[in-house]
């Protein structure tokens, strides 16, 4: 339950008129998880602490992606909120750069077996899907923001 609390609060916040505040709170939470994942990245071979950090961060990205795909109301609220934030800051705080993700991914393979949670492997696909769920105006902003493009 503790793992899902920020996500639940994010959804509740999106259902009201304070969508941009809910998005900013979610960005702050994901940024904290991203920092923990980055701190865990060089600590190889990965132990349960590192796997936990990765699962928390990548799991948050996956949860938002699933919600965007499954709920038109959530998608609309997300797009309204995204229009009000600085994408350079938001993407820099939410997404890992491609090189960092690749470094984690490389260390998640041991003897030909993938030992990390599946969210790690599909991260790039999740970022692509988040972009696809944006309205055309927000997709254009996403495409013009290097911090967003760096995650692809």
Q: Where are the domains of the chain?
A: 5-149
Query: Residue 19, SS3?
Result: helix
40, HSE (Cβ side, Cα atoms, 13 Å) = 26
Q: Which pTM value belongs to this model? A: 0.86
Give the CA angle between residues 49, 53, 54 to the nearest 5°: 115
Taking the C-alpha atoms of residue 85 and residue 75, their distance in angstroms, rounded to an integer, is 16
> What's the token pair of residue 46?
């990965």
pLDDT for 9 equals 45
Mean pLDDT value across residues 140-152: 94
pLDDT digits (tens, 9 = 90+) for 73-131: 999 999 999 999 999 999 999 999 999 999 999 999 888 889 999 999 999 999 999 99
Q: CA 114 → CA 98, 109, 118, distances in Å?
A: 18, 5, 9
Residue 47: which pLDDT band, with cuts at 50, 70 and 90? Answer: very high
CB distance 129 to 66 below 8 Å: no
């Amino acid at each position: 339950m503790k793992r899902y609390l920020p996500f639940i609060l994010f959804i509740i916040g999106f259902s009201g008129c304070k969508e941009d505040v809910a998005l900013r709170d979610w960005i702050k939470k994901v940024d904290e998880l991203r920092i923990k994942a980055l701190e865990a990245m060089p600590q190889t071979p990965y132990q349960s602490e590192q796997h936990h950090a990765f699962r928390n961060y990548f799991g948050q990205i996956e949860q938002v992606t699933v919600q965007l795909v499954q709920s038109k109301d959530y998608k609309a609220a997300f797009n309204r909120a995204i229009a009000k934030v600085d994408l350079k800051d938001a993407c820099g705080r939410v997404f890992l750069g491609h090189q960092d993700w690749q470094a984690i991914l490389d260390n998640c393979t041991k003897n030909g077996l993938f030992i990390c949670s599946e969210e790690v492997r599909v991260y790039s696909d999740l970022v692509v899907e988040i972009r696809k769920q944006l309205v055309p105006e927000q997709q254009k902003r996403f495409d013009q923001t290097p911090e967003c493009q760096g995650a692809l």
